[in-house]
């Protein structure tokens, strides 16, 4: 027990949150925020080498190891972006020093909650962590205290709470199903115990539980028609939070869902969770793709694009099987990296233009070439054009579906194409054409954005065999 990376993944953000809540001064705290996320990332990486034995509360396996590394990595790059973004907000007086202090503390609490949700072995603990993550993001979304921000936060709070309440009911039902088999007490909520014994659970109870869990955690994933909170929350909060919401928090909720899906898969009598997830995924994809056309706010545009991609990922996991799971995992990783890179660009764009309205910005590649082309590259990536990583993952999802369910694959391709056209339509008016809006040079940190994009590009061109083997291994776990 001399070195336990699990403790590091939790204690570092918790301690940093406490420290950041009391320390004054923007520069120190922003730097400390970066240091804390770096440390957390290092601890997360060490999980590959030192793997603690599962306890009744915490568990690390290959599945959540992947999620933790992704989460801490994006958390780390976002903290670098956040430092320059928040500095600008402070300069223009949109945020005051007490709020910045609050923001940094909340950022670390959010990292803590997401890590806890990912490594929780106890389904009750996992629920608590997701709830904590929801509450922190609610507070961050409302931080600007404008009409829109308050409305967005309120809506997010109400819808998120209802979702989380339904998920708790589902969790209780899982316990009810487990109790006759596993026995009373703590063991009946420990995931690693449950998954071994789930074959003997009462299937009817497990089915109802999964429906509640799907609706509950599905709300947090942002699946249509439960997505109403998502565009508002993305558009009105600080942009680093939009990046973390899209890139990470949606994944965490999906991860919770996947854990329960694995539970159902063990039980022969339970309903197949696949078709439900496939349906919700396709509905989200097609709905969000059409919604892209009418967007006037740049952050809302990419929020809908997140719904679209979460739809694709949920669809892939719903299809199941080694190849589709592989594609789903790969797509999720690529989407997290690309979408957060886009939000890094969008954050700076909105700052230099002083607005989020698409109509008020234009010709970005002329006025701000680096930022503009960065955004173009990001959108090309997210739209799924070769040779970037998302093309590869979408191609895998589509081709694996064509082999099994051609009819579904047609809907899938249709949704993706509609989304692609919608994104390019909007991108055209933002990045090209007559320059509009202020053209003062941007004080931006480009490193996080281009790091993400370079990774996505690299993954699209060449995947190291070790990484492929790793993803295949995890996809096999998902069943």
Partner 1 sequence: MHGIAFDIAHLLAGSLVLISFLELYQDRLYALLNVFALHALVLAASVAWQAFIQDAPHLYVTALIALVFKAIVIPTALHRIIVRLGIHREIEKVVGVGPAMLAGIGLVALSMVVMLRVTQEADPLAREDLAFALSVVLLGLLMMVTRRNAVSQVVGFMSLENGLVLAATGAKGMPLVVEISVAFSILIAFIVIGIFLFRIRERFDTVDVQVLDRFRGERR
Residues near partner 1 (CB under 8 A) are 122, 124-125, 127-128, 131-132, 135, 138-139, 142, 145-148, 150-151, 153-154, 157-158, 161-162, 165-166, 168-169, 171-173, 175-176, 179-180, 184-186, 188-189, 202, 204-205, 207-208, 232, 235-236, 295-297, 300, 356
* Coil, helix or strand at residue 280: helix
- Shortest Å distance, C-beta 235 to partner 1: 6
Is 370:379 a contact under the CB 8 Å cutoff?
Answer: no
Please return the burial class of 406, using the count of CB atoms within 10 Å of its CB with bins 0-12, 13-18 and 19+: exposed
Which residues make beta-bridge pairs with 297?
357
Nearest residue (CB) to partner 1, 31 versus 145: 145
Distances in Å between the alpha carbon of 81 and those of 87, 248, 252, 296, 341?
Answer: 10, 15, 21, 25, 10
**Gap between the Cα atoms of 440 and 424, Å rounded:** 25
User: Which residue number, 297 or 394, has a Cβ lying nearer to partner 1?
Assistant: 297
Nearer to partner 1, 295 or 452 (CB): 295
Residue number with CB closer to partner 1 (86 or 141): 141
User: Angle at the Cα of 89 (from 85 to 92), degrees rounded to 5?
Assistant: 140
Minimum distance from residue 296 beta carbon to partner 1 (Å):
6
Smallest distance, partner 1 to C-beta of residue 153, A: 7
Provide the sign of the torsion angle of the four alpha carbons 63, 119, 204, 193, taken in this order.
Answer: positive
CB of 29 to partner 1, least distance (A): 22
Residue 177 vs 390, nearer CB to partner 1: 177
DSSP string of 33-82, one letter each residue: HHHHHHHHHHHHHHTTT--PPP-SSB---HHHHHHHHHHHHHHHHHHHHH
CA pair distance 151, 94, nearest whole angstrom:
18
- In angstroms, what is the minimal distance from the CB of 135 to partner 1? 6
**CB–CB of 229/160 below 8 Å?**
yes
Q: Kindly state the smallest distance separating residue 360's Cβ from partner 1, in Å.
A: 13
Min. distance of Cβ 230 from partner 1 in angstroms? 13
Number of H helices, E strands in the chain: 20, 0
Helices 273-291 and 203-221: angle between axes, nearest 10 degrees = 20
Of the candidates 298, 174, 170, 166, the one whose C-alpha atom is nearest the C-alpha of residue 226 is 166
Smallest gap from Cβ 459 to partner 1, in A, equals 34
Q: How far is the CB of 350 from partner 1 (least distance, A)?
A: 13
Q: How many CB atoms lie within 10 A of CB 110?
A: 26
Quote the least distance from Cβ 463 to partner 1, whole Å.
39
* Residue 14 vs 176, nearer CB to partner 1: 176
* DSSP three-state, residue 193: helix
Q: Residue 80 has which token pair?
A: 């670098």
Indicate the DSSP class of residue 295. -
Give the nearer residue to partner 1 in terms of CB position, either 179 or 197. Answer: 179
Q: Which of 89, 87, 92 is nearest to 33 (CA)?
A: 87
* 248: DSSP letter: I
In angstroms, give the least distance from the CB of 189 to partner 1. Answer: 6
């Amino acid at each position: 027990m001399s070195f336990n990376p699990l403790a590091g993944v939790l204690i570092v953000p918790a301690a940093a949150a406490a420290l950041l809540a009391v320390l004054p001064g923007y520069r120190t705290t922003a730097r400390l925020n970066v240091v804390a996320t770096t440390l957390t990332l290092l601890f997360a990486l060490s999980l590959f080498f030192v793997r603690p034995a599962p306890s009744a509360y915490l568990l690390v396996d290959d599945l959540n190891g992947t999620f933790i590394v992704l989460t801490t990595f994006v958390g780390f790059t976002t903290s670098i972006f956040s430092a320059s973004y928040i500095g600008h907000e402070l300069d223009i007086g949109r945020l005051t020093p007490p709020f910045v202090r609050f923001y940094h503390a909340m950022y670390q609490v959010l990292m803590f909650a997401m890590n806890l949700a990912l490594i929780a072995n106890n389904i009750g603990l996992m629920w608590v962590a997701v709830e904590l993550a929801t509450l922190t993001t609610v507070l961050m979304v409302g931080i600007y205290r404008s009409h829109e921000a308050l409305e967005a936060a309120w809506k997010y709070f109400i819808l998120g709470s209802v979702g989380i309440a339904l998920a708790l009911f589902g969790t209780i039902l899982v316990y009810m199903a487990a109790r006759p088999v596993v026995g009373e007490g703590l063991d009946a909520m420990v995931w690693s115990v449950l998954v071994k014994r789930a074959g003997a659970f009462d299937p009817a109870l497990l089915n109802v539980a999964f429906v509640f869990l799907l609706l509950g955690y599905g709300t947090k994933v942002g699946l249509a028609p439960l997505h109403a909170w998502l565009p508002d929350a993305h558009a009105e909060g600080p942009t680093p939070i939009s990046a973390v919401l899209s890139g990470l928090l949606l994944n965490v909720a999906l991860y919770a869902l996947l854990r329960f899906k694995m539970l159902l898969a063990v039980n022969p009598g339970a309903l197949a969770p696949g078709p439900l997830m496939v349906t919700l995924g396709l509905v989200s994809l097609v709905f969000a793709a059409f919604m892209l056309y009418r967007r006037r706010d740049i952050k809302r545009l990419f929020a809908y694009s997140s719904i679209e991609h979460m739809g694709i990922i949920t669809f892939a996991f719903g299809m199941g099987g080694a190849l589709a799971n592989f594609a789903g995992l790969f797509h999720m990783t690529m989407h997290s990296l690309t979408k957060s890179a886009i939000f890094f660009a969008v954050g700076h764009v909105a700052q230099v233009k002083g607005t989020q309205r698409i109509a008020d910005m234009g010709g970005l590649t002329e006025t701000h070439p680096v930022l503009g082309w960065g955004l173009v590259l990001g959108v090309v990536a997210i739209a799924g054009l070769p040779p970037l990583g998302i093309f590869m993952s979408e191609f895998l999802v589509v081709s694996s579906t064509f082999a099994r369910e051609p009819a579904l694959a047609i809907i899938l391709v249709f949704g993706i194409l509609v989304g692609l056209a919608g994104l390019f339509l909007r991108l055209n008016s933002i990045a090209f054409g007559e320059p509009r809006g202020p053209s003062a040079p941007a004080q931006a940190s480009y490193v996080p954005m281009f790091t993400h994009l370079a990774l996505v590009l690299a993954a699209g061109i060449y995947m190291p065999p070790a990484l492929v083997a790793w993803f295949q291994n995890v996809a096999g776990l998902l069943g």
